[in-house]
Structure 1
Amino acid sequence: MRPLDLDERQWTDVPRNFEAAGWTNYEAQQFQAARAAYLAWFQDEPFSAEPAILAGYLSHLLDPTPSRAIDLTRMALAASPAEDLLLNNMAFYLAEAGQLDLAQQYLARTQPLPPDTELGLTLSATRGLIAFRRGNEKLGRALYEQAIAAARTRSLWEYETLATLYYSRELARIQDPSAPERLMRARLIAEKIAEPGLVLTAQRATADVLAFSEA
């Protein structure tokens, strides 16, 4: 058999094909299976940041607390201590866990980036989250709106929608009356874009907002 004659099943049955299995399950929205594959990939390549980023991202969305996402990101940072995306993600997960001072310390280790770049606007949104959780509503609003505007200007629709989902959640936390409509619009856009992780984020943000209303 020539190499290019392999069918799809044979490609996915390649031993240690954790990365491919992860992406296949991710695209199929089989998120638990995707996370398991990303974890296996990270165990196989412990010095690679990408599988830890992906496994941490799904853990944050699937688990009731961000503790597993924090642990995975901490392990990845041991190998890649200057990786800005890992530092941002650690700050985000720690803020979610209420560890705001430590979150700020990780965020302070990131490189200065223009606010209209993909990572730059992501950092602005994370700063907005920390500001909201510290009770600084004015700064939190300004930072989230800066991130959303930067994404919109560059037609980064997934980034704009992601920031809007989290902004809506923080507004719901402080009982802002605009939150439900903002969240509904962002969720509809997420479903239209149909990127699996964005859809899962919309579902998690909606569940969080419902939990606020029932508390």
Structure 2
Amino acid sequence: MKQSILIVEDEEKIARLLEIELQFEGYQVCKEKNGIDGLETYCKGNWDLVLLDIMIPGLNGIELLRRIRKHDANVPVILLTAKSSIADKVEGLDLGANDYVTKPFVIEELLARVRAALRVGATKDMAPQGVDKWLSAGDLRLHEGTREVLRGEHNIELTPREFDLLVHLLRHQRQVLSREQLLENVWGIDYMGDTNVVDVYIRYVRNKIDPTRQLPELIHTVRGIGYVLKESL
């Protein structure tokens, strides 16, 4: 069965280019011009990936992303954005997007990001269901099925990307992971962004699991290499 991709993009030339290229690659494609129609189409279908422009009429891309994430925390979403600063890109990712492509983009790069996002999504879909999948380190606990994260008795709210990063760190406790390894395993092997996005997200996760800086440190920096999650050095 063909994988299905929803495009929400108001620039007709870009939307048509994406449609042609994705169909040529073997995907089933549907496109909408505004956020309201995009949300309606999304809710009616079973999508493997969403390509979402931020600046769209009716319902902007960020709000549409929020609503998609309320419905499904796992469906891959790639943002199409004209914004180029690292801060803007990180903000979009922090709101739940899996990746971003800056306009104007090279179609080969976009297709690589689509393949990477679909591989990550497929891996999550293959995870066994109904299994008690708690991961823990010290008083930090995470359940992969319910996506609950607890520090002691305190509930922690993480974005999808923050959650995936913490899962990977917990699965590889006491193992020093380089930024490149984290990019490959959390963002996808074809991710072409800056490695400093890892540092940004490590900081986000640290701030959420210990906002007061009074709890035992769990995520440690290994200078010149990357990061390790362990109860103590």
TM-score, structure 2 length as denominator? 0.28
Larger RCO (CA within 8 A; separation ≥ 6): 2
Greater helix fraction, Structure 1 or Structure 2? 1
TM-score by length of structure 1 reads 0.29
